[in-house]
Chain A
Amino acid sequence: MAYEGIHKAKKGLIRVRLSLDPNKIIKNIEISGDFFLYPEDALWIIEKHLVGKKAEKNELLAEIKKIYLKHNIETPFLNPEDFVKAILNAVRKYEEDTCNIL
């Protein structure tokens, strides 16, 4: 099951759709939206890199920052923190859902 999270950054709206395993490890993730990211194709590198990572604030932030550095990513008026917020908004939906089942 895929869960969606939205976050409005200073520039751009980030939409995340993800699926998690029971240990909150990311199985699939798509990041879309109307932001600007340079070099553009690094977005798909971020997505790929996050698969297999735990959907937890500090780990996500560290991993995204790592990719920013490695690929010289620039996102005017938007930070790695904004991506994390959008992801965590999707994770919250997942948690609400699993709580309801339990």
Chain B
Amino acid sequence: MRKIRAIFYEKPEDAYYNLAVEEAIPRALSLGYGKPTIRFFRNENAVIIGYFQYAEREVNLREAELLKVQVVRRFTGGGAVYHDLGNLNYAISLPFTKIIPTDIVEYYRFFLKPIVNALKSLGATNASLGGLNDLNIETRKVGGTAASRKWGVAFFHGTLLINTNLETMARLLTPPLEKLKDKGATRIRERVVNLSEILGSIKIEEVVDAIIREFEKTFEAQIEWKDDLTEKELSLAEKLYAYKYTNKEWNYRRKPSSFFDKTIFG
């Protein structure tokens, strides 16, 4: 049976670092010194924008400054999300194997299904897949996901709203009306829901355990908890942090990854 490392590795006060680690794990795997990994983490107060987005168009930057929110761009597509400690992030990096679908829509479903099952096992029986990449409870979104096949690694990550401050989220994100209307909502608040609203109080550990149980089944793997990343992964994360994830060219000017690669990877 295949082994997958699980790690709860975070620096909630530094979203730039958390996102640098998010890239370091699949990159290390692709460079031959990483490990198949499921990582969990949280950010205390951050907006994470998609690879193809401009912060100035998706985020109320004046509010962000006022609320001391870190605005960080990720390497996967999709939309802007707000992270606080009530939001759980998970990320999977695996080598490609036969069990991973090649069709992109099926690829999303492959990774989303265990999350839906985890939510159901926790009691959110109305959890379902929405569109390509959303996790819904009835008509409202409880999590978003994004996938990548860059660097020859099967990568998938997502957010899960457990008890995020949705008012703060609504103050920070500025989706155009076209987007909300399409989802039958006129305000962000009508479009999203916290898991705690459905299940009452729920601990983050319970959610993590439920996800792990489902991933073991889906990936036909044995998942082993580790406390830390390897030295090499950490040193790669430091580089990504210094040259990319704290860089305005990355976070605000939508430069492609290739713009930073030479400095970081030589």
A residues adjacent to B (C-beta < 8 A)? 6, 8, 11, 13, 15, 30-41, 43-44, 74, 76-77
Known contacts A38-B104, A40-B150; A6 and B256 CB within 8 A of each other: no
**A45 to B, closest residue via Cβ:** B256
5 contacts between A and B (CB under 8 A): A36-B78, A40-B77, A41-B256, A76-B132, A77-B132
- Interface SS, B side: loop
Q: Give the distance to chain A from B26, nearest Cβ to Cβ, in Å.
A: 13
On chain A, the residues within 8 Å of B104 by CB distance are 36, 38, 74, 76
Check if A6 sits within 8 Å of B52, measured CB to CB.
Answer: no
**A33 to B, closest residue via Cβ:** B52
CA distance A4 to B214 in the complex (A): 44
Check if A32 sits within 8 Å of B53, measured CB to CB.
Answer: yes
Check if A34 sits within 8 Å of B178, measured CB to CB.
Answer: no
Q: Give the distance to chain A from B131, nearest Cβ to Cβ, in Å.
A: 6
Beyond A15-B57, A34-B53, A38-B149, 6 extra complex contacts between A and B, CB < 8 Å: A13-B179, A33-B53, A36-B77, A39-B149, A41-B256, A77-B131
CA distance A55 to B118 in the complex (A): 48
Q: Give the distance to chain B from A11, nearest Cβ to Cβ, in Å.
A: 5
On chain B, the residues within 8 Å of A36 by CB distance are 77-78, 104, 132-133, 146-147
B158 on the interface (CB 8 Å rule)? Answer: no
Known contacts A13-B176, A76-B104, A77-B132; A35 and B256 CB within 8 A of each other: no
Q: Give the distance to chain A from B130, nearest Cβ to Cβ, in Å.
A: 11
On chain A, the residues within 8 Å of B149 by CB distance are 38-39
